[in-house]
């Protein structure tokens, strides 16, 4: 049977993204909408910026059904252009300017946008991409300064069909499990997640969310930006994570902080190294997403903040949230919570048949947030969507209480001597060692088998070696799950989203010398 939330779905109060700032500009024009580098944007000023951005886009020929590539990092100008594109009935393609030239060129080539906009958020990547691609510098009044160019490309029949289904955004997946694909998300889907998160977290106009997760990722876009603004709250925009900036924001009135686990690890290292006390007088909610929660990290973060560390589960293809821990409860386990209101989940076996409660299976999801499909990739769309269900490729089990427990990704799973090894399980045990900051476990192909390789980032100042970890794991995890290789790195590589770059580590593992006999 599908697993659904027992809570009632909150009726959406907005039908389109651009209605959010308009509503609050009419109701509370002088309330703070955005904070950035010491500057405040009221809702009235935000709407003026949206009008200026819309005028600039219209001057470049943007019409309903078009696609507009927006490359940048978190800043008020980028927010203005997101809403402006929506007002024109076009779809925005959000791209993180930290991506390489080749990556941005590949996205632009595949997405075939009618207009490209490069937003300078104070870092030079944005401007350099715009110069390289022939975009001209444009003064957009209250919206700020960008580089923009009209490509002259036709919208095409694919866009016309997608526009008829309410296409709002195209987000390109990070590519950790294959070639990046353009995920087509709808107005209804983005708002469904944003408003549900608003209600689950009891957001109000008094809240201030720290937006360091990239807006080019669905979590930053819906769960942080849109959900907070839909409540009339304020969003503190930060282009890139750094410990000092985050510590300052927490002390200066942030009420909600959402990050990925590597950010919390960096904060823990800072407070342990300095011995300073956390100063966060208004903070009421902390959340870690993007990967299965490490139980040791959860315990340490909760001790530091004195708050439950919430987590959830979702993916770009579902706008993104499917499950979320509940605000009014604190659990010692690392379950990602039940499905959010309006979401149905199934755990199925390889034949698409539901598995019993407590057993692991692939997660299939049905939700208003599920994508229309992958742009210009019908084969991948047909593979991912089946009879209205999104096949996530993730493995999980549902307990008797309806809580979902992640096991791992099908494509991350290591098959060692015929046994299934799920990296998240092994990582959790390694990370519990007092000298380990974080770890990533991957498979490495060897003669007709896979070996388990662990990349380990030690805690600052700690000394640890493979022999120590082998001894530590001996009584804590079964033999076939134990890594045969340990590689120690000062810092694990990360993607622009802040997630650990598992694909890079997999390639690094394959380049290791063969094991000695």
Residues 456, 364 share a domain: no
- Please count the residues of the chain: 517
pLDDT at 125: 56
Q: Are residues 63 and 129 in the same domain?
A: yes
Name every residue whose Cβ is closer than 8 Å to that of residue 188 and which is 6 or more positions away in sequence: 12, 166, 368
Kindly give, in sequence order, each residue whose CB lies less than 8 Å from that of residue 432, ignoring residues fewer than 6 positions away: 295, 296, 476
CATH number, domain containing residue 390: 2.30.38.10
In a domain, 470, yes or no: yes
Listed residues 186, 202, 222: the one ending a domain: 186
Co-location of 397 and 416 in the same domain: no
Judge whether residue 126 has pLDDT over 80: no
Final residue of a structural domain among 186, 218, 233: 186
Domain-embedded: residue 6: no
The reply to whether 504 falls in a domain is yes
Domain that holds residue 97: 46-186
For residue 88, the model assigns a pLDDT of 97
**128-187: per-residue pLDDT in tens?**
899 999 999 999 999 999 999 999 999 887 776 777 789 999 999 854 444 779 999 999
What pLDDT is stored for residue 2 in this prediction?
57
What does the pLDDT read at residue 516? Answer: 56
Q: How many CB atoms lie within 10 A of CB 391?
A: 18
**DSSP sequence for 348-399:** E-TTSPBPPTTS-EEEEEE-TT--SEETT-HHHHHHHEETTEEEEEEEEEE-
152 exposed, middle or buried (CB, 10 Å; 0-12, 13-18, 19+)?
Answer: exposed
| Residue 143 CB contacts under 8 Å (≥ 6 apart), including other chains | 49, 50, 52, 53, 56, 77, 80, 81, 84
446 DSSP β-pair partners: 449
Which whole number is the average pLDDT over 282-308? 92
Mean pLDDT (whole number) for 267-282 = 96
For residues 359 and 424, membership in a common domain is answered with no
In a domain, 5, yes or no: no
What pLDDT sits at residue 7?
36
DSSP class of residue 292 equals: P
Give the pLDDT band (50/70/90) at residue 5. Answer: very low
Residues 491 and 369 in one domain: no
- Domain membership of residue 384 (yes or no) is yes
CATH of the domain at 74: 3.40.50.980
Q: What is the pLDDT of residue 417?
A: 81
Q: Taking phi first (over 0 means left), then psi (-120 to 50 degrees means alpha), and beta for anything else, what does residue 353 get?
A: beta
Among candidate residues 151, 186, 221, the one where a domain is terminated: 186
| Same-domain status, 134 and 169 | yes
User: 53 and 168 in one domain?
Assistant: yes
| Longest Cα–Cα distance in the chain | 73
pLDDT of residue 12: 44
**What is the reported pLDDT for 177?**
41
Task: For residues 294-303, give the mean pLDDT.
Answer: 92
Could you tell me the pLDDT band of residue 11, with boundaries at 50, 70 and 90?
very low
Residue range 422-433, pLDDT digits in tens: 898 899 999 999
Residues 427 and 466 placed together within one structural domain of the fold: yes
Share of the chain above pLDDT 90, in %: 75
Choose the weakest-confidence range: 31-35, 84-88, 113-117, 474-478. 474-478
pLDDT at 415: 84
Same domain, 397 and 430: no
For residue 205, the model assigns a pLDDT of: 96
Contacts of 122 by beta carbon, 8 Å cutoff, 6+ apart: 37, 73, 75, 239
Q: Output the pLDDT for position 121.
A: 54
- Count CB atoms within 10 A of the CB of residue 413: 15
Give the SS3 label for residue 289: strand
Q: Are 82 and 110 found together in one domain? A: yes
Average pLDDT of span 80-91 = 98
For residue 39, pLDDT over 60 is answered with yes
Q: How confident is the model at residue 3, as a pLDDT? A: 54
pLDDT of residue 374 exceeding 60: yes
212, part of any domain: no
pLDDT exceeding 70 applies to what percent of the chain?
94
What total of structural domains would you count in the chain? 3
Q: Which residue has the tokens 């560390």?
A: 309
Residue 206 belongs to some domain of the structure: no
Distance (Å, whole) CA 166 – CA 139: 30
In a domain? residue 367: yes
The pLDDT of 270-279, averaged and rounded, is: 95
Taking residues 387-403, what's their average pLDDT? 94
Segment 4-10 shows an average pLDDT of 40
pLDDT class for 499, splitting at 50, 70, 90?
confident
pLDDT tens digits for 185-236? 999 999 999 999 999 999 999 999 999 999 999 999 999 999 999 999 999 9
| The two structure tokens encoding residue 4 | 């659904």
Asked if residue 296 lies in contact with residue 263, where contact means CB atoms within 8 angstroms, the answer is: no
Per residue in 438-487, pLDDT (tens digit) is 999 999 988 778 899 999 999 999 999 999 999 999 989 988 899 999 99
Residue 440: CATH number of its domain: 3.30.300.30
User: 258 falls in which pLDDT band (50, 70, 90)?
Assistant: very high
Do 181 and 51 have their domain in common? Answer: yes
Average pLDDT, the chain: 91
55 with 103, same domain?
yes
């Amino acid at each position: 049977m599908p697993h659904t939330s027992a809570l009632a779905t909150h009726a959406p109060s907005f039908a389109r993204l651009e209605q959010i700032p308009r509503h609050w500009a009419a109701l509370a024009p002088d309330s703070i909408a955005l904070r950035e580098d010491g500057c405040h944007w009221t809702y009235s000023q935000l709407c003026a910026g949206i009008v200026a951005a819309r005028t600039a886009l219209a001057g470049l020929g943007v019409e309903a059904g078009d696609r507009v590539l927006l490359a940048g990092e978190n800043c008020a100008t980028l927010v203005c252009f997101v809403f402006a594109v929506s007002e024109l009935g076009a779809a925005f393609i959000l791209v993180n300017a930290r991506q390489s030239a080749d990556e941005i060129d590949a996205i632009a080539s595949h997405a075939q946008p009618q207009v490209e906009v490069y937003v300078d958020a104070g870092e030079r990547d944005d401007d350099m991409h715009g110069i390289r691609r022939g975009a001209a510098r444009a003064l957009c009044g209250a919206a700020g300064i960008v580089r923009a160019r009209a490509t002259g490309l036709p919208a095409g029949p694919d866009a016309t069909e997608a526009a008829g289904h309410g296409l709002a955004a195209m987000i390109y997946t990070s590519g950790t499990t294959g070639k990046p694909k353009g995920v087509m998300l709808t107005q209804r889907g983005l708002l469904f997640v944003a408003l549900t998160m608003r209600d689950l977290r009891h957001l109000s106009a008094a809240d201030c969310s720290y937006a360091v997760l990239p807006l080019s990722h669905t979590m930053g876009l819906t769960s942080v930006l849109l959900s907070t603004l839909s409540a009339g709250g304020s969003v503190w925009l930060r282009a890139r994570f750094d410990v000092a900036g985050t510590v300052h924001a927490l002390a200066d009135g942030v009420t909600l902080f959402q990050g990925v686990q590597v950010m919390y690890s960096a904060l823990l290292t800072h407070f342990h190294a300095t011995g300073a006390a956390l100063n966060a007088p208004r903070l009421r909610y902390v959340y870690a997403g993007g990967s299965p929660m490490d139980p040791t990290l959860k315990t340490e973060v909760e001790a530091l903040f004195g708050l439950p560390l919430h987590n959830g589960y979702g993916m770009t293809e579902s706008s993104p949230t499917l499950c979320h821990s509940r605000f009014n409860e604190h659990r010692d386990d690392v379950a990602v919570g039940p499905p959010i209101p309006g979401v149905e989940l199934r755990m199925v076996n390889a034949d698409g048949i539901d598995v019993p409660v407590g057993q692991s299976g692939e997660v299939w999801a049905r939700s208003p947030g599920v994508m229309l499909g992958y742009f210009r990739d019908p084969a991948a769309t047909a593979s991912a969507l089946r009879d209205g269900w999104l096949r996530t490729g993730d493995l999980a089990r549902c307990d008797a209480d309806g809580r979902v427990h992640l096991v791992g990704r099908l494509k991350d799973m290591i098959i060692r001597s015929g046994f299934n090894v799920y990296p998240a399980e092994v990582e959790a045990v390694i990370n519990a060692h007092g000298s380990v900051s974080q770890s990533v476990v991957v498979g490495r192909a060897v003669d007709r088998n896979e070996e388990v390789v662990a990349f380990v980032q030690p805690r600052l100042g700690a000394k640890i070696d493979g022999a120590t970890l082998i001894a530590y794991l001996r009584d804590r995890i079964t033999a076939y799950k134990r890594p045969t290789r340990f590689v120690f790195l000062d810092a694990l590589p990360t993607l622009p989203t802040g997630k650990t770059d598992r694909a890079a580590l997999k390639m690094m593992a394959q380049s290791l010398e063969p094991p000695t006999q």
